[in-house]
A and B are shown apart, each in its own frame.
Chain A
Amino acid sequence: GQQLNQSPQSMFIQEGEDVSMNCTSSSIFNTWLWYKQDPGEGPVLLIALYKAGELTSNGRLTAQFGITRKDSFLNISASIPSDVGIYFCAGQFYYQLIWGAGTKLIIKP
Chain B
Amino acid sequence: GAGVSQSPSNKVTEKGKDVELRCDPISGHTALYWYRQSLGQGLEFLIYFQGNSAPDKSGLPSDRFSAERTGGSVSTLTIQRTQQEDSAVYLCASSSYRGPNYGYTFGSGTRLTVV
Return chain A residues, CB-CB under 8 Å to B93.
42
The reply to whether B48 and A40 form a contact with Cβ atoms under 8 Å apart is no
Residues of B within 8 A of A14 (CB): none
Does B42 sit at the interface, judged by CB under 8 A? yes
Docked pose: A31 CA to B95 CA in angstroms: 16
Quick check: is B40 within 8 A (CB to CB) of the other chain? yes
A4 adjacent to chain B (CB < 8 Å): yes
Q: Return the contact of B40 from the options A4, A43, A101 (Cβ within 8 A).
A: A101
Contact B108 A90 (CB under 8 A): no
**Cβ contacts B98-115/A at 8 Å (1 or 0 each):** 111100111111000000
Question: Given the interface contacts A40-B108, A44-B106, does A97 sit within 8 Å of B101 by beta carbon?
Answer: no
Interface flags, A69-104, vs B, CB<8A=1, else 0: 000000000000000000010101011111111100
Q: In angstroms, how far is the closest chain A Cβ from the Cβ of B12?
A: 16
Please count how many residues in chain A sit with their CB below 8 Å of the partner chain's CB atoms: 24
Alpha-carbon distance between A95 and B59 when the two chains are bound, in angstroms: 13
Are A33 and B100 neighbours in the complex by a CB distance under 8 Å?
A: yes
A43 to B92 Cα, complex, angstroms? 10
> Contact between B100 and A90 (Cβ–Cβ < 8 Å)?
yes
Q: In the complex, which residues of chain A have a beta carbon less than 8 angstroms from the beta carbon of B109?
A: 40-42
Q: Chain A: which residue is nearest B111 at the CB level? A: A40
| Interface pair A43/B106, CB less than 8 Å apart | yes
B100:A92 contact, CB within 8 angstroms = yes
| Chain A residues positioned under 8 Å from B105 (CB to CB) | 42
Give complex CA distance A76, B59 in Å: 33
Give bound CA distance, A43 to B43, whole Å: 10
Per the bound structure, the CA–CA distance linking A48 and B101 in Å amounts to 8
CB-CB contacts of A14-55 with B at 8 A, as 1s and 0s? 000000000000000001010000001111110010100000
Asked if A42 meets B106 with Cβ closer than 8 Å, knowing A4-B42, A95-B31, A96-B48, the reply is: yes
A residues engaging B (CB < 8 A)? 4, 6, 31, 33, 40-45, 48, 50, 88, 90, 92, 94-102
